Amino acid sequence: MEVINSVNELKAKINAFRKDNKKIGLVPTMGALHKGHASLVTRSVKENDVTVVSVFVNPTQFNDKNDLEKYPRTLEADCKLLESIGTTIVFAPTVEEIYPEPDTRSFSYAPTDSVMEGAFRPGHFNGVCQIVSKLFMFVEPDSAYFGEKDFQQIAVIKAMVNDYRSKNEEWAKRLTICPCPIVRENDGLALSSRNTLLAPNERTIAPYIFKALSASVEYSKTHTVEETKNMTINQINAIEGLEVQYYEIVNADTLQTVNSWEDAEHIQGCITVFCGATPIRLIDNINYK
Ligand code: PAF
């Protein structure tokens, strides 16, 4: 496994792999890797000849400076894990390497990027599109792997790739976006790099988010969308230290709110909860149908 910091060096390696007709998988990450990331990398290693994992805490997607500063950084441990699962290249650039000058590109895929996280974290998805488009252009992967914990992020990235496809970008035409299932702790908490920031008492209450989501699936069988939404929010807010920022029950393809269970073929519940005094912002989602 090689650790590369420079874009030019990365591109040179990728060119050599392409000449050899190697199939390339990309796993974009912000580091502080856990078993959820490991599952993405393991899948990429299985499906490709070469797996590139980027480790880069992207400043342009943080709308809160404090959140950016607090974000855990554990490159040495990340590299050990990545080597053990067969990664070919770790791309770990500096901010200056990625943004030698400010990225002024603007991406807009409303309503996909304007609801939920888009509404509560202005500019977040613009920053995600800036970094992910750059990574796609550097690596030109055959497949790119993303965790379904960030359900909305996958929809936004798919919209961005479709946009580049419509502009006849060869890399976008070749690329397949591969969503991968959420990995959970035994108590149901969705794995997230942010979990390491939870104090012990916060870690104890955080699993109630998934407990309420799971209970809501059963509840939904005999109740309306609105009743299910309210029950879920109330159950979580009843736990001291948890506060729901939003819970939306949406068409899983368009991310538009549904009013009835018959409104869409696939329906997903997407939630963001503040946990503890700091607070730590936790996201999760669940499939209803
Ligand atoms: O999901 C993440 O960790 C980030 O948003 C991503 C896709 C690596 C872009 O920085």
**Do the beta carbons of residue 270 and residue 118 sit within 8 Å?**
no
Q: What is the CATH T-level fold of the domain 193-287, as seen in this structure?
A: Pantoate--beta-alanine Ligase; Chain: A,domain 2 (3.30.1300)
Cut 0.85: pTM above it:
yes
Q: For 146-201, how does the pLDDT look when each residue is reduced to its tens digit (9 = 90+)?
A: 999 999 999 999 999 999 999 999 999 999 999 999 999 999 999 999 999 999 99
Question: How far, in Å, is the centroid of ligand 1 from the Cα of 277?
Answer: 25
- CATH class belonging to 2-180: alpha beta
Average pLDDT by stretches of 10, the chain with 289 residues: 98 98 98 97 98 98 92 97 98 98 97 97 97 98 98 98 98 98 98 95 98 98 98 98 98 96 98 95 98
The residues assigned a catalytic role are 37
Domain extent listing, the chain: 2-180, 193-287
Q: Name the residue of 129, 136, 153, 281 to mutate for ligand 1: max ligand atoms within 8 A of Cβ.
A: 153
| Residue range 201-222, pLDDT digits in tens | 999 999 999 999 999 999 999 9
What is the pLDDT, as a whole number, of residue 233? 98
State residue 278's pLDDT score: 87
pLDDT at 240: 98
With the most atoms of ligand 1 within 8 angstroms of its CB, the residue from 44, 128, 281 to mutate is 128
The H or E element containing residue 16 is helix 7-19
